[in-house]
């Protein structure tokens, strides 16, 4: 099956190139499948899943992405014409805060509705494979928002992008490629801060981005009730979904993101279904607010997040602004397989231990130098100190920041406390803190990440990735958080010369 799929993809690529030469079409489409990485067939398990869900290999796709949950969903059209969920991928790393991207260099990953056409697919990516989200769209431009090269890519590191493992992006890329070969001109990419449920809206009700989130929730609701890709337009610096020509109009409405909205209607079957859903959501929201559901704390400097399955694989890993484990601790998840290879250069969001520090404030604490850093090492972890000492090292007590950047010689420094005020042991500090916090310790907030991914150039050299990993990546399994490819083999002692920090210096 794999051989036939690969041969078919190659033939389709040749045919596409020939049609472009003859018809003068967009030559960027030729780049869809120009190398072995971009030509990898859709894994047999996914092909089988499509058959079970009554989907064709070349039918249209749609992507939804959620920062807080750190998940990317692939939806595919079935033979009835409706979209159904094909697979959910855990996101390895995203940067910034919950909220839209506003300006170049703010490290924010975009939120909103974007359209991905073949020219935005990059088989020559230095981040294995990638596609450009298309930020800024017309709405972003109308508000003066700036930024470029905002990607979904491999390599598991991000500065304003959404980063997957190489194995995951190979699979996602193959699904997009097949949809284009099947005739889809562009697939929709919907990026949200979180799943737009009444619970999440209530938790974030005091967030300054709420007006924007309510606006894109309209499109979320349209898709939820119709299971059809919502038609997206912009006018008066706002989103408009599924707009149609008014009954008495002679021509279709013309939209301009910065101009006054033209006369339009939303088909009644869609409008009524959306209205009913929103009424139910509003009633549930009001109940939650009346019960005084806790408001989510605003970001205090944490840089993005990552899915819990990846955080469990990294020393001192943390989910950051993404949701932590539900039912399973990171230690339990560490026994599962990761959906893809995690590079040794990856930095997780740094844990925010403010709740622990405030609970244990009666104990004397010796301050440590801010320059006391260490480099991720492949050496075996220390085994002395007992349970609480080892747990303390995992949570960040008594340890320095871990960075993926190459330090100068003798980058580590020692701190000697005064004999008159000796600090308590790591185990005693942690034991006291945990005793005060159990069982309600809040692990949902973290401190800033140390390093992340720079902007991706339009056509980076292919050999940069090939130097450190094989060109082809295996399938990542069934798609749930506990299935997939290889596990983290250990952190790299020193970042190689082709790490993301040395490859590029631009910041989105």
- Of the listed 153, 204, 222, 235, which one is catalytic? 153
Neighbours of 482 (CB within 10 A): 15
Active site residue 153: yes
The structure tokens listed for 63 are 């992507």
User: Are 335 and 482 contacting, i.e. CB atoms less than 8 angstroms apart?
Assistant: no
Hey, CA dihedral for 323, 404, 497, 110, is it positive or negative? positive
At CA 432, angle to CA 384 and CA 390, rounded to 5? 20
| Tokens 């499948």, residue located | 33
Which one, of 457, 487, 451, 313, lies nearest residue 394 by Cα?
313
Question: What gap in Å lies between CA 128 and CA 357, rounded to an integer?
Answer: 41
CB 225 within 8 A of CB 196: no
> 279: how many CB neighbours lie within 10 A of its CB?
10
441 is catalytic: no
Q: Could you say which of 92, 161, 222, 235 is catalytic?
A: 161
Angle, in degrees to the nearest 10, between helices 386-395 and 426-437: 80
Q: Exposed (0-12), middle (13-18) or buried (19+): which is 493, by Cβ within 10 Å?
A: exposed
Contact (Cβ atoms closer than 8 angstroms) between residue 200 and residue 189: no
Q: What share of the chain is helix, strand, coil (3-state, %, to 5)?
A: 30, 15, 55
Q: What are phi and psi of 412, to 5 degrees?
A: -90, 150
Which residue reads 């100190």 in tokens? 385
| Tokens, residue 385 | 């100190």
Residue 111, token pair as written in the block = 């939120």
* DSSP symbols for 399-419: -PEEE-SPPPTT--------G
The set of catalytic residues is 153, 161
């Amino acid at each position: 099956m794999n051989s036939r799929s690969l041969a078919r993809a190659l033939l389709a690529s040749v045919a596409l190139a020939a049609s472009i030469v003859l018809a003068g079409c967009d030559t960027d489409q030729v780049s869809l499948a120009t190398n072995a990485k971009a030509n990898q067939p859709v894994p047999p398990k996914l092909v089988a899943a499509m058959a079970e869900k009554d989907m064709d290999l070349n039918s249209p796709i749609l992507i939804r992405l959620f920062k807080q949950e750190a998940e990317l969903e692939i939806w595919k059209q079935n033979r009835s014409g409706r979209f159904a969920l094909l697979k959910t991928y855990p996101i390895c790393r995203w940067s910034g805060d919950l909220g839209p991207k506003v300006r170049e260099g703010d490290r924010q990953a975009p939120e909103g509705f974007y359209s991905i056409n073949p020219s935005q697919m990059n088989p020559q990516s230095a981040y294995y494979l990638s596609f450009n989200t298309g930020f800024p769209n017309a709405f972003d431009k109308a508000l003066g928002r700036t930024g470029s090269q905002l990607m979904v890519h491999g390599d598991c590191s991000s500065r304003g992008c959404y980063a997957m493992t190489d194995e995951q992006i190979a699979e996602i890329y193959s699904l997009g490629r097949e949809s284009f070969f099947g005739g889809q001109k562009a697939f929709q990419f919907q990026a949200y801060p979180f799943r737009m449920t009444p619970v999440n809206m209530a938790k974030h009700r005091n967030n300054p981005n709420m007006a924007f989130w309510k606006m894109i929730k309209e499109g979320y609701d349209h898709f939820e009730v119709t299971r059809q890709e919502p038609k997206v337009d912009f006018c008066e610096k706002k989103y408009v979904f599924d707009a149609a020509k008014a009954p008495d109009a002679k021509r279709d409405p013309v939209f301009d993101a910065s101009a006054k909205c033209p006369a339009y209607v939303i088909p009644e079957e869609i409008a009524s279904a959306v209205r009913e859903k929103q009424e139910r959501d509003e009633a549930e929201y009001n109940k939650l607010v009346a019960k005084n559901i806790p408001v989510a704390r605003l970001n205090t400097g944490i840089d993005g997040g990552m899915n819990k399955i990846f955080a469990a694989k990294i020393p001192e890993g943390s989910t950051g602004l993404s949701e932590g484990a539900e039912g399973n601790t990171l230690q339990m998840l560490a026994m599962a397989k990761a959906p893809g290879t995690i590079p040794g250069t990856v930095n997780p969001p740094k844990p925010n231990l403010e709740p622990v520090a405030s609970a244990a404030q009666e104990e004397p604490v010796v301050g440590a130098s801010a320059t006391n850093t260490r480099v991720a090492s492949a050496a075996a972890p220390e085994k002395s100190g007992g349970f609480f000492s080892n747990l303390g090292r995992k949570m960040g007590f008594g340890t320095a920041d871990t960075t993926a950047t190459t330090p100068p010689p003798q980058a580590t420094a020692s701190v000697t406390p005064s004999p008159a005020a000796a600090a308590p042991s790591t185990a005693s500090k942690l034991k006291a803190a945990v005793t005060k916090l159990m069982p309600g310790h809040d692990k949902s907030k973290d401190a800033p990440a140390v390093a992340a991914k720079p902007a991706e150039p339009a056509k980076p050299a292919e050999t940069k990735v090939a130097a450190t990993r094989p060109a082809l990546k295996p399938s990542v399994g069934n798609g749930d958080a506990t299935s997939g490819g290889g596990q983290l083999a250990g952190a790299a002692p020193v970042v190689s010369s082709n790490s993301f920090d040395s490859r590029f210096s631009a910041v989105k």
